[in-house]
Structures are given as structure tokens and as C-alpha cells.
A and B are shown apart, each in its own frame.
Chain A
Amino acid sequence: MIKNYKMDQLLEKIAYCIEYGKINNISPYPPDMKGQDGADELTRQALEKGVPASDILTKALVIGMQKIGVKFRENKVFVPQVLMSAKAMNTAMVHLKPFFLSGEVKRKGTIIIGTVAGDLHDIGKNLVSMMIEGSGWEVIDLGVDVKTEKFIESLKQHPGSFLGLSALLTTTMGSMEKTVREIKTQLPETCILIGGAPVNHEFSIKIGADFYSPDPQGAVEFLNKKVA
């Protein structure tokens, strides 16, 4: 059954679905929302009712992702809950894609992201990508084991983009350092964010990166401040 919601209620409801990872009507997760419409149906309904796509993005998707991001930072939820939220967000985002393409809805900016050369881990990098995308940014994900040249090529293709680098292994911290130094030499204006289990603030200063966050939400807040 499709229920009728007023616009604000609908946006609130979408934000709630994102926060709690309710993807669509048939999704069994979370158990206490079984049988209810999810981010998928509610986003479609909102568009049908004439809610501007930009409102759906900023007043529902961004809010839901921000709430889960904060809870994750506070250790109130863990990776599975964030992944479910991201899935719900992606489902809603599919309906907004045409509005991005037409230029009706603008993103805040672009960030190129990847795990540094020699490192094949992607869970952390993916989490950060999803949180940033859910905050209204365009994310260009270059994947894992990304060579410096590939980052530089992408930065040249997308001038003005931010850059996010991930490393999980202590052994690839050296690789991260090389990448940062090379990029700062060739494209000194690039703003570089770093993250990953062995990385910290002190290390980011040492290698010449611009920002470190121990959690995805910190990166989101840093980026948003940069374009505010």
C-alpha cells in the first residue's frame, strides 16, 4: 500500500529509511520496518508528488547519511549498519540520477578516491566513498592498488577535484607518502585527504597531506566546510 505523506513528512521518512538502512518494501532489514516502503518507493513517490530532486538530496539523503555517519563515529553502530544505509542511499540516488545529468541538481564538488599502490583493501575506502557521495558530492572511485600516475591523470581530467587516499597496511604507508609527495610536486594546489587503520594526524602532517580523519564523517565535514 502506498500511503500519502505530506512533502516534509515524506522527506523525513526518506531520511529515516536512509539512517536505518531500509532499502525497499521487500527488504527484511531492519526487522521492525518489515513490509513498509523503503528509500526506493518513497523517493519515487516524492518525485511524483513534485518534490524537487534537490530537496530530496539535501533534506533527506544527506540528513540520513549524516545521522548514520555521526553514529558510526560515536561507535553506536558498526560497518554493517553503515553499509545498509549506503545501500538505501544508493537506491534513492538512482531516481535522482537524471536530475544530476540534466544539471537541475548540482553536486557540491568532486573527489577522486582510491587505495594506494600495493594495497588491495577496499572496505574502508568504500565506506568513505559512500558517505561522501551521500553528502552530495560526486565521487570518482579509482579502486585499489592505484598508482600515482593514475591519480594524477584523473586529477588532470577533473581539475579542482579533491583527492582521498586510503592505506590499510603499515607497509603501504610508504606508498601513500610517495603518492602525496609526487602529487604535491606536480599539482601543488591539490587538496589531499588521507585515511586508513595505521594512518594518523601526525603522519598526515609529516607526508604533506592536507587532512586526516579517523572516521568517514570527519572527511565529509572537512569537505563540506571547504565549499561552504
Chain B
Amino acid sequence: MKPTISQLISTGKVLVSDGAWGTFLQAKGLQPGECPELWNIDHSDDVLDIAKNYIAAGADMIETNSFGGNSFKLANYGLQDRAIEINRKAAEISRKAAGQDKYVIGSIGPTGKILMMGDVTEEELYNAFKEQSMALYEGGADALVIETMTDLDEARIAIKAARENTPCEVICTMTFDRTLDGDYRSMMGASPTDMVKTLIDAGANIIGANCSNGIEGMISITNEIRSENKTIPVLIHANAGMPKYQDGETVFPESPEMMAGFVPQLMKAGANVIGGCCGTTPEHIKHIAGIVKKKDLLN
């Protein structure tokens, strides 16, 4: 049996994760207003091609096309009753691309509901995350990645639902922006420091940050996490900077070379898994993997 991701990290290895799915799907023709996760069912070859591209680029693990696959998000498209089918298929596609050796990490995003406003109850959130986690596991996910979280309570509930209902390792990453004071806070006001204890106590095996405003800020975020906890494995999925809009198209400013240039500092800060978020491509991952693997050989 292959080791878990955190077992592999404990041997001192730095691992490479994948890049963006949303931007890749758009490049393949996904239209605004279309449900990206439904592509698992009716454009499964395109989704498989994305997964294969990231494996070919050198990723040790790939996500699944299920970020908006919880029943609350799917309800926006009237697809809430198909959550199990859609998530299972998402994991099956990534598993097919990953083979048995590479890892499939099932993507779980926020519901878009705000607990403190009484939009939903804790139980409703738990059940939605439970359903999605179980379907991703059944489809073949090795681990689950709860990502782009901004609310500590929602993150905590998602982690519990994933841990209590599947044997998967659970990764949880939150999204932070830089405040005017230069600190990092999520939209709901949580700092990386606030995050560490809550997520670990809820049962997360690996924690970290994703999206935000480019890879450079991720170094400060990783340092902050590490000043709270020296041992918890840390995963960073940075986006390729803040997007710019040019002639009807979205352009991300950070090139593969630029992002890869920050990887040594990110590893030094204590990141154990490095990959991309919005705007990153297989080319970004190839460059990141190049730096990570070179460093591994030196160690």
C-alpha cells in the first residue's frame, strides 16, 4: 500500500500539486453561467485531459473537478440531487489520469452560505460536506482538500464531516488577503494564526492557503503558520497573481518562471506541498516541479 501524503512528507520530501482547473475548463470552452462540475458528466474527456496534463507536468497529486460540487452550490443550477453522481465521477476521472501511484485529492469548496447570518444550520452544512466527501472517496480520492475557506466555522464543519465519514486524509486551506496594515486576513476576518489551531483541532492532517494574491504573499502566510506550528504539513496553492482584463480576456500576470522563482523561498518558509490556483497552467506546474525536484536531489 502506498504511504499517505503526510507520511511521504514526514520523510522530508516536498511534493508538487496541480494548477488551476477553472481557468483550464474555460480555455476548453466552459461558458460563464455553466456548471463546471457538470462537465464531469457531459465533457468527461475534456476534464480527463486537464487531469492528464497536470500529471504529465510532474504533479505528485491532482485535484478533482468538484470545487463547487456541494449540494448548495449545485442547487444554483438545479443539480443538487446529482451531487453524489457528479462528485464520484470527478474522482473517477482524476484517478484514471493519476493511475495508482499518484494521489487524487478531492476538491471541496465553500457553500457560499453564511452560517452567522442564519442562511444555513451547522447540521445542513455538515450533511452537504458529508455527502460530497463520501462520494469523492467512493470515486477513488486518496485525500480530500477543503479549500478557499474564509470562515473558520465552515472550515471546521467541513473537516469534521470529511474525517468522520471517510478514511481519507484531510487537507484544509483558507484564502487570505493582505490588509492595509500588511497582515493577512480572510474575508471573514480569520488570520493564518487563528486558522492553525482551529483546523488542527477539527482534525485536518494538512493545512495551508490557496488562491489569494499571488505566490509572494504565500511566503509570509507560510511563515505565520510555521510560527504557530512547526510540524503540521503545509500545502500552498498560489494563484498566478491578480487577474487583469485585456481585450475581453482574463490575463494572469505571473508567468511560470516568475512563480517558480519564489518556490525556494516558499520551501524555506516551510511549505511541504506546492501547487497552483487560479490562472496557473501545466507549464507553471512543470516549472515549479523542476525547482522542487532539483532541490530534492540536493538534499
Contact A145-B188, Cβ < 8 Å, known A80-B116, A123-B112: no
Contact assessment for A198 and B33 in the assembled complex, using a CB-CB cutoff below 8 Å: no
B114 contact set on A, CB distance < 8 A: 83, 123
Instruction: Specify which chain B residues have a CB less than 8 angstroms from the CB of A83 in the assembled complex.
Output: 114, 116-117
A118 CB–B CB distance under 8 Å: yes
Bound-state Cα–Cα, A175 to B34, Å: 13
* CB closest chain-B residue, reference A83: B117
Residues of B within 8 A of A174 (CB): 32, 245, 248
Is B179 close to A, CB under 8 A? yes
Consensus secondary structure, chain B interface: loop
User: Does B124 count as interface, using CB distance less than 8 angstroms?
Assistant: no
The answer to whether the Cβ of B250 comes within 8 Å of any Cβ in the partner chain is: yes
Measured CA separation A212–B160 after assembly (Å): 40
Whether A117 and B189, one on each chain, are in contact in the complex, defined by CB atoms closer than 8 angstroms, is: no
The residue on A at minimum CB distance from B77 is A120
Q: Say whether B185 contacts A169, CB under 8 Å.
A: no
Contacts of B188 in A (CB 8 A): 78-80
Docked-complex contact B181 and A75, CB < 8 angstroms = yes
Residues of B within 8 A of A170 (CB): 243, 245, 250, 278
Chain A, residues 100-123, CB within 8 Å of chain B (1/0): the string is 000000000000000001111111
Which chain B residue has the least Cβ–Cβ distance from A81? B189
Are A74 and B180 in contact (CB-based, < 8 A)? yes
Add 17 more A-B contacts to A78-B189, A81-B189, A171-B250 (CB < 8 A): A75-B179, A77-B189, A78-B185, A79-B150, A80-B116, A80-B188, A83-B117, A122-B112, A169-B32, A170-B243, A170-B245, A170-B278, A171-B26, A171-B32, A172-B32, A173-B250, A198-B243
Is the C-beta of B242 less than 8 angstroms from some C-beta in chain A?
Answer: yes
A203 close to B (CB within 8 Å): yes
- Whether A41 is near chain B, meaning CB under 8 Å from some CB there, is no
Q: List the interface of chain A (C-beta within 8 A of B).
A: 74-75, 77-81, 83-84, 87, 117-123, 145, 169-175, 177, 198, 203, 206
CB contacts (< 8 Å) of A203 on chain B: these are 245
A173 to B243, CA, bound (A): 11
Q: Report A-chain residues with C-beta under 8 Å of the C-beta of B31.
A: 118
Please give, as numbers and ranges, the residues of chain A lying within 8 Å of B250 by CB-CB distance: 170-171, 173, 198
- Whether, in the assembled complex, B187 has its beta carbon less than 8 Å from a beta carbon of chain A, the answer is yes
> For window 175-205 of chain B, which residues contact chain A by CB distance below 8 Å?
179-181, 185-189
- With A78-B185, A117-B33, A171-B32 known to touch, is A198 a contact of B245 (CB < 8 Å)? yes
Distance A87 CA – B117 CA, assembled complex (angstroms): 9
Convert B95-132 into 0s and 1s, putting 1 for each residue whose CB lies closer than 8 angstroms to a CB of A. 00000000000000000101011000000000000000
Point out the residue from B32, B117, B185, B186 that lies within 8 Å of A119, measured CB to CB.
Answer: B32
A174 to B250, CA, bound (A): 9
Q: Is the CB of B32 within 8 A of A78?
A: no
